[in-house]
Chains A and B, each alone.
Chain A
């Protein structure tokens, strides 16, 4: 569905050259759901703009939905849907008008467009706002309208640039329901970016992590987490001596990647943490090490990013979920 080779894009800004995307090689299969993750400025939006014919690449090739983005941009446009990072609807116009216009832009006639618009407005809980001017909507209402606009023609390929930014948890779940329903019913391929890592974890079959314009990891989320992060067991001990002994014991376990001591807490990175935790506690008991708390954290994609780059994605993202409970009670 998407194939790119050596896709690059650089910008000139104030005499400096910014290399936003450096050599993107993508092959996305029809019917898959792919997440594109990376910190601010990684080149996600720029990549999407090239794939959606909005921005000509500096070099490289891209075929999207069977059409070359440079040779046949009209062909690409007919087959895709796009939700940009900004506002899709003009603030001076009415909600329903913008939806109907979008349907008609894709060749639906007035009544078809109207019928689809009504369905989406109901599904995204916007029916009470149809006559409102877009500029008067709340941020989240506006984002839901943007999503309705992107879905109205039921495209075979959807590009979504931060679809759920600014939405409350319930709306986010609702939006994903709709996107995935389209995916199930008509096998729409979904290519999305997000700063909510759980969304990538939950919904994507494949996660690509980009940093500085390059893809640095590309696998199903489970595999990324197992290979690059692993589970984390944390045990709290009475004092530093006990912590050191506990660390020694932990290092003796099989499949342990890394053991670190921080004060009286010992943190163990491993695969199969759920099986290891009771085993570790038994051994510590045998060794006479007093354990006051024990905790198991499953890895997140943020841990994957941390392993890959030494930086956290959360620092730059508008993190909405609680920070890892790793050291609670330690």
Chain B
């Protein structure tokens, strides 16, 4: 009971400024927007990138949602880092609030924002060749949520461990972000034929790849694909890992 209550307190605290300024939502969506506006049009001239006859939007959009999950929530720890430096986090740590709830509440807020942004992107894509399969899209958003929980929690964990050296947070975040993105096949397909073997192998090691592939199937309304299973396993694994190390980090957090 106290856990739920505390999670609610942490969530409400983080959510309040977002609700007051919903336009802020759009600011950390710049990267996905830019890719949609300036990169996606190139795909149509490149011919067949995806599965057969579908529009290139159908292939590209799910990847962009994963990119959104990666870019938006990965920065979540930055706000926490600021609070750690100022003393606001220290003050929260002295209250009897559950430390696990502090992490979960914050992560939930990131996920709510992520979902709102994802819905916005889907709405923008509706007039294009993107076809919405409602059930598949719903499942895709659930998968995205699980993935976002993991990335958000990992970002908080990174922030907690960077308290002595803030540059560590931004350094690791940047160093991790681009390889995870580029090696996931979000922008261009990475297949055994099209990519050098080493790159292909790296992309197969990258868990984000599986999430992207699962999203593509789900948003095309295909559930019965083994990729969906793999993607779900990858997302759940990231979430479990993120929340586990995050709660551990929060519990042991000192100042």
A56 touches B87 (CB 8 A): no
| A74-108 vs B, Cβ < 8 Å mask (1 yes, 0 no) | 10011010101111111111100110011011110
B191 CB-CB contact with A under 8 Å: no
Q: Chain A's interface: helix, strand, loop or mixed, by majority?
A: loop
Residues of A within 8 A of B17 (CB): 92-94
Given A54-B90, A87-B88, A88-B88, the answer on whether A93 and B95 have CB atoms closer than 8 Å is: no
A94 touches B86 (CB 8 A): no
- Among A53, A74, A88, the residue within 8 A (CB) of B87 is A88
B96 touches A74 (CB 8 A): yes
A245 CB-CB contact with B under 8 Å: no
A52 CB-CB contact with B under 8 Å: yes
B9 CB-CB contact with A under 8 Å: yes
A97 touches B13 (CB 8 A): yes
How many chain B residues touch A (Cβ–Cβ < 8 Å)?
24
**Closest beta carbon of chain A to B158's beta carbon, Å:** 19
- Among A77, A87, A92, A101, the residue within 8 A (CB) of B94 is A77
Q: Taking CB as reference atom, which chain A residue is nearest B253?
A: A54
Q: Taking CB as reference atom, which chain B residue is nearest A81?
A: B94
B79 touches A92 (CB 8 A): yes
A49 CB-CB contact with B under 8 Å: yes
**Closest beta carbon of chain A to B152's beta carbon, Å:** 17
B121 CB-CB contact with A under 8 Å: no
Q: Counting chain B CB atoms within 10 Å of each CB, which of A54, A105, A106 scores highest?
A: A105
Residues of A within 8 A of B92 (CB): 105
B16 touches A49 (CB 8 A): no
B90 touches A86 (CB 8 A): yes
Residues of B within 8 A of A89 (CB): 88, 91
Residues of B within 8 A of A80 (CB): 94
B16 touches A84 (CB 8 A): no
B55 CB-CB contact with A under 8 Å: no
B95 touches A102 (CB 8 A): yes
B206 CB-CB contact with A under 8 Å: no
* A residues with CB within 8 A of B: 49, 52-56, 74, 77-78, 80, 82, 84-94, 97-98, 101-102, 104-107, 149
Starting from the known contacts A54-B93, A97-B13, 18 additional A-B residue pairs (CB-CB under 8 Å) come to A49-B255, A53-B93, A54-B254, A54-B255, A55-B254, A74-B96, A77-B94, A86-B87, A88-B88, A88-B90, A89-B91, A90-B86, A91-B86, A93-B13, A93-B17, A97-B16, A104-B5, A105-B97
Nearest 4 CB-CB pairs, A to B? A86-B87, A105-B95, A88-B91, A90-B88
Sample (29) of A-B pairs whose CB atoms are under 8 Å apart: A49-B255, A53-B93, A53-B94, A54-B94, A54-B255, A55-B255, A77-B94, A78-B96, A82-B94, A84-B87, A84-B90, A85-B87, A86-B86, A87-B86, A88-B87, A88-B88, A90-B86, A91-B86, A91-B88, A92-B79, A94-B17, A102-B95, A104-B5, A104-B9, A105-B92, A105-B96, A105-B97, A107-B96, A149-B91
